[in-house]
Amino acid sequence: MLKVLLIAGARPNFMKVAPIYAEMRRREDEFSPMIVHTGQHYGAAMSGAFFEDLKMPRADVHLGVGSASHAVQTARVMIEFEPVLFEQKPDWVLVVGDVNSTIACALVCAKLGIKIAHVEAGLRSRDRRMPEEINRVLTDAVSDLLLTTSQDADANLLGEGIPQEKIRFVGNVMIDSLREHLELSKSSHIREDLELTEGEYAVVTLHRPSNVDDGATLSGIMNSLMEIAKDVRVVFPVHPRTRAKINDFEIETDGVTLTEPLGYLDFMRLYSGAKLVLTDSGGLQEETTVLGIPCLTLRENTERPITIEMGTNILVGTDPTRIKEAAANALAKRKPSDIKIPPLWDGKAAGRICDELLR
């Protein structure tokens, strides 16, 4: 039996860890899983509601690191995580995504000679200004098993000199959570609460420092959203960091419906009924691809190019004119009838991940 520590640090991690944990619990003769929550995201809105919606148990270990600069937060995770490894002596540590908790836990394991599996390995934006890109590259460099979501990620890893035998194309575990919870999300009343009609509104998410830490950039994006809101209802669940910056820079949001951060099921119910999604998130590019919802990515690059090649994603950057033009074009079109779904985005990635750990 393999003892596996599953690392969950921030909201994007939770929906990737949940199906893997559930699969391991179903295969109790083969796996003994433990959830380690670093506390990088914390509180009811950013953490607790996601655990409840995903039917994940309370974490076996909670490090409670909280918010801080990149350096301080990464260091705190490393300091708090090392004693857990000494106590638990796992066969594998499984890290997901590209947040600070991902690289911090991977580094500690690498120093101690504990095997690391990286879920969502090989994604590259080619933009080293993104903290997430640094986390991705470094985590892949020290991991023993690289579990990829798409074949372009395999090519990225091979190009960086990673041996083929370490790389396994398993598909997208994020889509496991989407497929499992889409029907369940219909129990949410978020659309009714906000008086929304399916297919007649747009949804926005915005949190990356490059977009929200600069007043001019954030103001330009918000101005474009206010213009779009003249043609379609725009709903914006606001990340705490983004709300603080909107207040600090005294940016106007007239006509845009701002809400508090939403739980997993509420947010899924919200975006799954949208006519258009505008985001700087990575996961939403993938989920909208599977659902066939037009997605405008408010960045100059993406580590998920397959969502452009096969999906509904368009890179529009942060120029207000480009954003407004792309939104107008997307709103004028009908939802595509022939949705192209990338290979192995079939809701069964967690099973393949478990198989590879055993292998």
Query: pLDDT tens digits for 145-186?
Result: 999 999 999 999 999 999 999 999 999 999 999 999 999 999
Q: Looking at the predicted structure, is the pLDDT value of residue 292 above 90?
A: yes
337 or 241, higher pLDDT: 241
Neighbour-count burial of 230, counting CB atoms closer than 10 A to its CB (0-12 exposed, 13-18 middle, 19+ buried): exposed
The pLDDT value given to residue 48: 59
Ordered DSSP codes for 306-336: HHHHTSSEEE-TT-HHHHHHHHHHHHHSPPP
State whether the Cα torsion 136-16-339-189 is positive or negative. Answer: negative
Active site residue 207: yes
Q: For the chain, where are the E strands, in sequence order?
A: 2-8, 31-37, 61-62, 92-96, 115-121, 145-148, 167-169, 201-205, 233-237, 257-259, 276-279, 295-297, 313-315
The pLDDT value given to residue 57: 83
Residue of 41, 118, 181, 207 marked active site: 207
User: What is the Cβ-side half-sphere exposure of residue 78, based on CA atoms within 13 angstroms?
Assistant: 16
Q: Of how many residues is the chain composed?
A: 359
Distance CA 301, CA 175 (A): 22
Mean pLDDT, the chain, whole residue set: 94
Q: How confident is the model at residue 311 (pLDDT cuts 50, 70, 90)?
A: confident
Contact predicate 283/277, CB 8 Å: no
Contact predicate 11/339, CB 8 Å: no
The pLDDT value given to residue 350: 98
The pLDDT value given to residue 11: 84
Q: Looking at the predicted structure, is the pLDDT value of residue 25 above 80?
A: yes
| Section 93-111 average pLDDT | 97
Domain 2-172+344-358 is classified in which CATH homologous superfamily? Glycogen Phosphorylase B; (3.40.50.2000)
Contact predicate 131/40, CB 8 Å: no
Q: Looking at the predicted structure, is the pLDDT value of residue 64 above 70?
A: yes
Q: Which two tokens stand for residue 197?
A: 């009609």
Query: pLDDT tens digits for 8-23?
Result: 988 889 999 999 999 9
The pLDDT value given to residue 279: 98
Distance CA 267, CA 270 (A): 5
85 or 56, higher pLDDT: 85
The pLDDT value given to residue 56: 81
The pLDDT value given to residue 81: 97
Strand order in the sheet with 276-279: 257-259, 233-237, 201-205, 276-279, 295-297, 313-315
Question: Domain-by-domain residue ranges, the chain?
Answer: 2-172+344-358, 184-332
> Is 184-332 the same fold as 2-172+344-358?
yes
Q: Which two tokens stand for residue 179?
A: 């497929």
State whether the Cα torsion 265-266-267-271 is positive or negative. Answer: positive
| Section 294-319 average pLDDT | 95
Query: pLDDT tens digits for 115-136?
Result: 999 999 999 999 999 999 999 9
Q: For 164-244, where are the E strands, in sequence order?
A: 167-169, 201-205, 233-237
The partner residues of 203 in beta bridges, in order of sequence, read 235, 277
| Section 32-61 average pLDDT | 78
**C-alpha 57: how far from its chain's center?**
20
The pLDDT value given to residue 66: 85
Burial per residue of 185-210, b for 16 or more beta-carbon CB atoms within 10 angstroms, e otherwise: beebebbeeeebeeeebbbbbbbbeb
Distance CA 323, CA 315 (A): 9
Q: Looking at the predicted structure, is the pLDDT value of residue 42 above 90?
A: no
Q: How confident is the model at residue 44 (pLDDT cuts 50, 70, 90)?
A: low
The pLDDT value given to residue 339: 86
Neighbour-count burial of 57, counting CB atoms closer than 10 A to its CB (0-12 exposed, 13-18 middle, 19+ buried): exposed
State whether the Cα torsion 162-167-169-170 is positive or negative. Answer: negative
Contact predicate 21/56, CB 8 Å: yes
Query: pLDDT tens digits for 203-243?
Result: 999 999 999 999 999 999 999 999 999 999 999 999 988 99
The pLDDT value given to residue 325: 97
Q: Looking at the predicted structure, is the pLDDT value of residue 46 above 60?
A: no
Contact predicate 17/95, CB 8 Å: no
Architecture of the domain spanning 184-332: 3-Layer(aba) Sandwich (3.40)
Q: Looking at the predicted structure, is the pLDDT value of residue 63 above 80?
A: yes
Q: How confident is the model at residue 327 (pLDDT cuts 50, 70, 90)?
A: very high
What crossing angle do the helices spanning 173-181 and 264-272 adopt, rounded to 10°? 80
User: Of 183, 190, 120, 175, which is closest to residue 288 (Cα–Cα)?
Assistant: 175
The pLDDT value given to residue 10: 85
> In the chain, what percentage of residues exceed pLDDT 70?
97
Q: Which of 193-202, 303-312, 318-327, 331-340 has the lowest mean pLDDT?
A: 331-340
Burial per residue of 134-173, b for 16 or more beta-carbon CB atoms within 10 angstroms, e otherwise: ebbbbbbbebebbbbbbebbbebbeeeebeeebbbbbbbb
